[in-house]
Each structure stands twice: as structure tokens, then as C-alpha cells.
Homo-oligomer: A and B are copies of this chain.
Amino acid sequence: MEEKVRWLTPEEQQAWRSFLRLHDRLRGRLSRLLQAESNVSAADFGVLVELTDTPDGRRRILDLARALEWEKSRMSHHIGRMVKRGLVVRDECAEDGRGAFVVITDAGRAMIEAAAPRHVEAVRDLFLDHITPAELRTLARVSERVVEKLDEDPS
């Protein structure tokens, strides 16, 4: 009952590895920059961005978790740490007694307003500036297509 394995061709192998490597490097570099220049982790940054996307800077925990594709448990722990550092506060939810809101504080707002321009600049310097518009479109197209397939796939 032995199936033959279709191993990757050298080109495929190399493309796949470069692709993975790029991601690791970019993320590593960007998060070290965020940490060094603005004293926030990439995770903090993501949460703060989501919060500032709403006019009042408050969102339900599960809503946040879904937006960032985190587990609710991770979100809960992470929010706890951010509360301790004064970036956000918890607030209870009137409509739903089980629920809870997270609200950005002034300190949190100050932090992200300081961090965002540097971050955008870094994304340009390290990534976008080295890619042609056509390549970027290809990248976006491929990414969307593959993610879509992943979502369809039962797992």
C-alpha cells in the first residue's frame, strides 16, 4: 500500500525555504525594532492598532482575539500584562454579563502614536522599497488565494 512521495524539486524546495526565511527575518527585525525604539512588542502593537481602529478605543476581548487570530486564552493573558503596564484597562460589559471590554489608555495611545510612524517606515525600508508594484500585486494575489484555500480546507 506504499504511496510514492512526490518530493519537492530543487526549485520548489528553494522557493519554499526562501519564503519561510523571508518571513522569519522580516518579523524578527520588525519586532526587534519596535521593541528597541518604542518599547512595545509586536503583539502589543497589534492589540493597540486594533483598539485605535475604533472611535472610542474599546473592544470586546473575543472580538480582538478573532481580529488577530489569537486564542482567547492568549488574549486574556496578554491583556493582563498590558493592564499591568498601563497600556489598557478592562471594563465590564453592560449588555452581556459574561463579556468584557478592553479600553486603550492615554498612555497606550501615546505609545502607539509614537511607535506607528517608525514601524511604517521600517516596513517600507525593509520590504516595500525592494519590491516592484507588479511583484507586490502578485504577492497579494497569491497570499489571498492561498489563505482562501486554507480556509476552505477541512484541515
15 contacts across the A-B interface (CB closer than 8 A): A8-B120, A8-B123, A11-B137, A12-B128, A15-B137, A15-B139, A16-B123, A18-B143, A18-B147, A19-B143, A20-B23, A22-B147, A25-B150, A126-B146, A131-B146
Contact call A143/B5, Cβ cutoff below 8 A: no
Residue A149 at the chain B interface, CB threshold 8 Å: yes
The interface size of chain A toward B, counting residues with CB under 8 Å, comes to 52
Q: A96 interface residue, CB < 8 Å from B? A: no
A128 contact set on B, CB distance < 8 A: 8, 12, 16
The chain B residue with its CB closest to the CB of A141 is B135
Q: Which of B25, B32, B127, B135 sits near A138, CB closer than 8 Å?
A: B135
The chain A residues found within 8 Å of chain B, CB to CB, are 3, 5-8, 11-12, 14-16, 18-27, 29, 32, 69, 116-117, 120-121, 123-128, 130-131, 135-147, 149-150, 153, 155
A133 to chain B: closest residue by CB: B11
Given contacts A16-B127, A24-B69, A147-B18, contact A5 B142 (CB under 8 A): no
Q: Is the contact region of chain A dominated by helix, strand, or loop, or is it mixed?
A: helix
Known: A135-B142, A138-B135. Is A5-B121 also a contact (CB below 8 A)?
A: yes
Contacting residues, chain B, for A7 (C-beta < 8 A): 120
Residues of B within 8 A of A29 (CB): 150, 155
